[in-house]
Amino acid sequence: MANTMTQWKPEASYYVREWGETKRKTKQFKTYQLLLRKIGEMLEESNDNEVCVSRSRRGQWGEWYEKWQMRDGKPYKFSETWL
């Protein structure tokens, strides 16, 4: 059983251009593995080729923040930090 203070669903956010406006799109996933399966699609849809992920890690307190980009046609995590 997960502690709700330290474990929550991972979420990805990125910017898309719709109807001439740039809007932030946020998606929540049941698990981090499901998010990773969709990261390539989100990067292709993104305006600036960047997706930001916030998540918890099992056994650790706090929130983790990651930035992803496409590099050589594959998703690449270029930044990771604890918040």
Q: CA dihedral in degrees (39, 17, 66, 69; nearest 10)?
A: 60
Over residues 18-55, the pLDDT tens digits come to: 888 999 999 999 999 999 999 999 999 999 999 999 99
| pLDDT value, residue 58 | 74
| pLDDT (0 to 100) of residue 49 | 93
The C-alpha atoms of residue 30 and residue 8 are separated, in whole angstroms, by 9
**Percent of the chain scoring above 90 in pLDDT:** 69
Kindly list the domain boundaries of the chain, sorted by start residue: 11-82
Burial of 42 (0-12, 13-18, 19+ CB in 10 A): buried
Q: What pLDDT does residue 56 have?
A: 86
pLDDT of 1? 42
